[in-house]
Amino acid sequence: MKFETPATTNPIDQLKIIGKPADRIDGPFKTTGTAPYAYERHDNIANPACGYVVGSAIAKGRIASMDLTAAKTASGVLAIVTADNAGKLAKGNLNFATLLGGPEIEHYHQAIALVVAETFEQARAAAQLVRVDYVKAEGAFDLAAVKDSGKPARITGGPADTAVGDFAGAFAAAPVQLDATYTTPDHAHAMMEPHASMAAWDGDKLIVWTSNQMIDWSVGELAKTLGMPKDKVRLISPFIGGGFGGKLFVRADALLAALGARAAGRPVKVALTRPMMFNNTVHRPATIQRIRIGATRDGKITAIGHEGWSGNLPGGKPEAAVQATRLLYAGANRMTATRLAVLDLPEGNAMRAPGEAPGMMALEIAIDEMAEKLGLDPIEFRILNDTQVDPEKPERAYSHRPLIACMGLGANRFDWSKRNPRPGQVRDGRWLVGIGMAAAFRNNPVMKSAARVRLDNRGVVVVETDMTDIGTGTYTIIAQTAAEMMGLPLDKIIVRLGDSAFPVSAGSGGQWGANSSTSGVYAACVKLREAVAQKLGFNSTEADFADGQVRSGNRSVPLAQAAGESGIVAEDVMEFGDLGKKYQQSTFGAHFVEVGVDAATAEIRVRRMLAVCAAGRILNPKSARSQVIGAMTMGAGAALMEELAVDKRAGFFVNHDLAGYEVPVHADIPHQDVIFLDETDPMSSPMKAKGVGELGICGVGAAIANAIYNATGVRVRDYPITLDKLLARLPEVA
């Protein structure tokens, strides 16, 4: 099925099951420990051996020699895989650092060996006996130092640079100007479940249980790396303990499990240890961002410019921090520029709303600063500069853009009108109290997605698609979609996900998963309805599917009976036409935050948080709310604590564990309110839904920064906003 014209009324609009806060189907499995994760037992794999990854101890250079003698004879050791004995490995398309390094070393903790032994402890012990001599080379590890060597780099979905009108002239002439630089540090995904895989060979066929967001991409990548046909590789990833972008691509654990299993002649499982994950895998690259805004005295933006610098290994992509600035606010004269420098740190890649998340952390402080210069309320300033068209291409309208409604509703709910606009004025005992807000914005990409549905003689529909549930609620919304389409209760739907044997789905990434994958299920169900109707001699456009029956005129047949002994199978793919090109499709919201800052110690506490989100039809408000409160929590982490500390001499992330890399815990996060606008977007898909998970993070960091400014009068432009950055300046207000 091709989605080319705006959606009209369809069975999803009945909203008997879609739009309801159904409990998660996978919840009981997860809470009872019966959801099989990659590193756990799989029925048909008896007694897998364990692999332990040895990571490079240098960031750049080469291996001069490797002595495996002691390791090979250590107790329980079955095989040791290195680049020397692994056979030819092709370079992938999606991983631009080699997953098994040597002799060249591209980054610290790049895998250089896998030790396979009977037990994990034996593999780990033997790995300590691997002796490696390196020849170190000079590397670049400091973004600020190399930023000016950055080259123009395309961002996802657009060129490196954009320009409209005369930015320089308009900025210079603007009576009110802001020119400020913001920085965001390197961030780690820090998902709960480590990267983990179990691999088994059956002749020339490879099967890998892994933890992966994008099954089809990763099958392709693994097959290419191993020089195998794609149809000989099967990936299975039914349950995933978080990914956040770190599991979009196949990583060293999967490749090394496959190589280890081949070398050992039996199934092998490999998990990256937590201290290995931070430098071995991927992270969100640090950014330096310069934002210039010029406005008239009454608050109309006349010039807006955003330049973003980031670094990556050769072949890597830039962090697309300027993305939101291309779209979010009006202004006749505009520019964005993206520069990418070479850094020899581990590979930078997508993490939790790549582009917009760090970009909005800067842009939405800049907007707050500009509003203050203009003497305008920050919401009023945003309303004045709202746009209903793509400001770089005014002939493209937004499909639907209720940003103003989100801010208005949020202001009301959060008692914004009681905020004192003068910073540093509100005290609650030892706490300086402040309120801040920011717009939320994230694009709404769609991806082709297929599914297969089978109706059986029990009246049960089984849905199969290689879509993943990374903790997002995919099982549940897919079941809701099939139930709504087929007129069945939820307990008559069985959903099978995350297996490359199933039709290729959109996968989980870029907040496209929910809308795209349910659209694929919708398409397959449309076909199934037609097949059922046809079998019964019904006119498919008139057949009504409800209460487990299919009805036409005065005939009514139970679906179980319609299926017959052999059942009925249908498969289809939802493909998206160019509505996304004709109309700008994005999601919108507003974040509101109250903070307290200790007047003596500068300790920062988030006291209240509210997100108002406009993301089309909300397929399941319970799982969507979970997505958003999780995202808000990540936003608080980015604002206040998350930072990979770079050793700029040795070239690695120093705090490579969860003791040193801080993320928020329950005690850091207050009660969170989430409101969804009751809306649909018929341009997005027949589901009329959009993504919401990544929207929830975009803007949060700046809302917190703006609240801290309102509390203290201290403007911090370098994330994370730790108390040392406030402390020296607090006496000015406290």
Q: Any idea which residues carry the catalytic annotation? A: 694
Q: Which of 267, 308, 331, 354 binds ligand MOS (CB under 6 A)?
A: 354
Smallest distance from the beta carbon of 549 to ligand MOS, in angstroms?
A: 40
Q: Residue 506 CB, nearest distance to ligand MOS (Å)?
A: 11
Choose, by CB under 6 A, the member of 510, 664, 691, 701 that binds ligand MOS.
Answer: 510
Q: Minimum distance between the CB of residue 187 and ligand MOS, rounded to whole angstroms?
A: 11
Residue keyed to tokens 């972008």: 245
For residues 673 and 85, what is the distance between their CA atoms, to the nearest angstrom? 55
Tell me how far, at minimum, the Cβ of 407 lies from ligand MOS, in Å: 26
Among 248, 590, 632, 707, binds ligand MOS (CB under 6 A): 248
Q: Which residue is nearest to ligand MOS (CB)?
A: 245
Choose the binding region for ligand MOS from 132-140, 244-252, 317-325, 673-681 (rule: CB under 6 A): 244-252
Identify which range of 305-313, 347-355, 549-557, 683-691 contacts ligand MOS by CB under 6 A: 347-355
Taking CB under 6 A as the criterion, the residue among 305, 410, 434, 509 binding ligand MOS is 509
Report if residue 419 touches ligand MOS, rule: CB under 6 A: no
348 sits near ligand MOS (criterion: CB under 6 A): no
Which of 305, 300, 444 shows the shortest CA–CA distance to 386? 300
Q: Environment class of residue 666 by beta-carbon count within 10 Å: exposed (0-12), middle (13-18) or buried (19+)?
A: exposed
Name which of 364, 304, 289, 306 is nearest 177 in CA terms: 304
Q: Token digits for 50?
A: 């364990």
Residues composing the chain: 734
Is the Cβ of residue 354 or residue 580 nearer to ligand MOS in the bound state? Answer: 354
Closer residue to ligand MOS, CB minimum distance, 189 or 717:
189
d(CA 108, CA 712): 40
Q: Is 213 in the site for ligand MOS (CB under 6 A)?
A: yes
Beta bridge partners of 718: 183
CB of 526 within 8 A of CB of 450?
A: no
Phi, psi (rounded to 5 degrees) for 590? -145, 135
CB of 157 to ligand MOS, least distance (A): 13
For the bound state, the minimum distance from the C-beta of residue 214 to ligand MOS, rounded and expressed in Å, comes to 8
Q: Looking at beta carbons only, is 55 or 510 nearer to ligand MOS?
A: 510
Rounded CA-CA distance 141/175 in Å is 40
Span from 348-356, 458-466, 540-548, 699-707 in contact with ligand MOS (CB under 6 A): 348-356
Dist CA 562 CA 730 (whole Å): 73
Cross-strand pairs, 383: none
The alpha-helical segments, DSSP class H, found in 547-616 are 559-563, 579-582
| DSSP code per residue over 193-229 | SPPEEEEEEETTEEEEEE--S-HHHHHHHHHHHHT--
Whether the CB-CB separation of 462 and 528 falls below 8 Å is answered with: no
Beta strands across the sheet bearing 549-552: 544-546, 549-552, 555-558
Residue-by-residue DSSP string for 226-270: HT--GGGEEEE-S--S--TTTTSS--HHHHHHHHHHHHHTS-EEE
Name the minimum Å distance from CB 20 to ligand MOS.
Answer: 26
Indicate whether 447 belongs to the interface with ligand MOS (CB under 6 A): no
Among 245, 294, 308, 596, binds ligand MOS (CB under 6 A): 245
Query: Strands 646-647, 652-653: parallel, antiparallel or unpaired by DSSP?
Result: antiparallel
The count of chain residues that interact with ligand MOS, using the rule CB under 6 A, is 11
Residue 314's φ and ψ, nearest 5 degrees, are -55, 135
Stretches 4-12, 240-248, 450-458, 600-608: which one binds ligand MOS (CB under 6 A)? 240-248
Cβ proximity to ligand MOS: between 352 and 688 the closer is 352
> CB-wise, 251 or 454, nearer to ligand MOS?
251
Contact 450, 574 (CB under 8 A): yes
Nearer to ligand MOS, 189 or 452 (CB): 189
- Pick one of 351, 570, 609, 692: the residue that binds ligand MOS (CB under 6 A): 351
Site string for ligand MOS, 169-188 (x = CB under 6 A): --------------------
Q: Which is nearer to ligand MOS, 299 or 355 (CB)?
A: 355
Per CB under 6 A, residues contacting ligand MOS are 213, 243-245, 248, 350-352, 354, 509-510
